[in-house]
Amino acid sequence: MRKKIVAGNWKMNKTYEEALTLVSEIDNMVKDEVTGEVTVVIAPPFPYLQSVGKLTQGNDKLHLAAQNVSEHESGAYTGEVSARMLQSIGTEYVIIGHSERRMYHHEDAQTLYQKLKASIAQGLKPIFCCGEPLEERDADRHFDYVGQQLHDSLSYLSNEEFDKVVIAYEPIWAIGTGRTASSQQAQEMHAYIREQLSRLFDAEAAYNTSILYGGSCNPGNAKELFAQPDVDGGLIGGASLKSRDFTDIIKSF
Ligand code: 13P
């Protein structure tokens, strides 16, 4: 059975105090209001991971994610955080290949593969992001573009390794822009991604993989997006910084 997942990517936002307030509010709202089977993932900035993790420990719907991880195991890599460190403080998921990291930190497909490998080796569940820029969509090359991203970073994983991976489709033109992919655009890309996964891995693994949509997802559009057969949840940016909006998105299933 594929999991329904709503993940909040806080990006580089919130002070420590604000982060604790936000997570306490989410914890309470999820406890009081969310009845369905949905996994809620929260990805705060690195310095808050442990404290946020402690606050969510008593709530089995809430799970902790990091926004990034080093591709290296350990050693002289100043400023980097390893998968083992994340695992040792109770982190369960890790976002890999977000377009902002590909763009601003020049993370290429091979580096992302190494990050996937390092994370899986430590028992972390990667949320692997893919998605095309506007010019690729306008040129009608979006399927090929995303297919290539999947192939270039995932194809070296074994079926067992791939088993832990969650995919997030985030068209770059929809991130932080207020412009969402229509539910039809999301569905056709998610179905295409699942089809590509079934070529790279076994069909059952592809069927069971959760594929999340990200990009200006909000309480107003989540219901229609999540109703699509191949949309298994969302990776939420801006709206995950507001407890009311984030909870309403979770309740859209
Ligand atoms: P927004 O929801 O702010 O568009 O961000 C999406 C995103 O990048 C989540 O990782």
CATH code: domain of residue 207: 3.20.20.70
Known active-site residue 190: no
Structural Rg of the chain based on CA atoms: 17
Please identify, by atom number, the ligand 1 atom nearest to the C-alpha of residue 95.
10
- pLDDT, tens only, 22-78: 999 999 999 999 998 999 999 999 999 999 999 998 899 999 999 999 999 999 999
pTM of the shown model: 0.98
Domain count of the chain? 1
Q: If 0-12 CB within 10 Å is exposed, 13-18 middle and 19+ buried, where does residue 41 land?
A: buried
Q: Which residues line ligand 1 (CB under 6 A)?
A: 9, 98, 170, 175-176, 214-217, 235-239
- 98, 100, 132, 142: which is the annotated catalytic residue? 98
Q: Using pLDDT thresholds of 50, 70 and 90, give the confidence band for residue 213.
A: very high
Whether residue 26 contacts residue 42, with contact meaning beta carbons closer than 8 Å, is answered with yes
The predicted structure's pLDDT at residue 1: 78
Distance 211 CA to ligand 1 centre (A): 15
Parent domain of 99: 5-250
The CA distance from 210 to 3, in Å, is 6
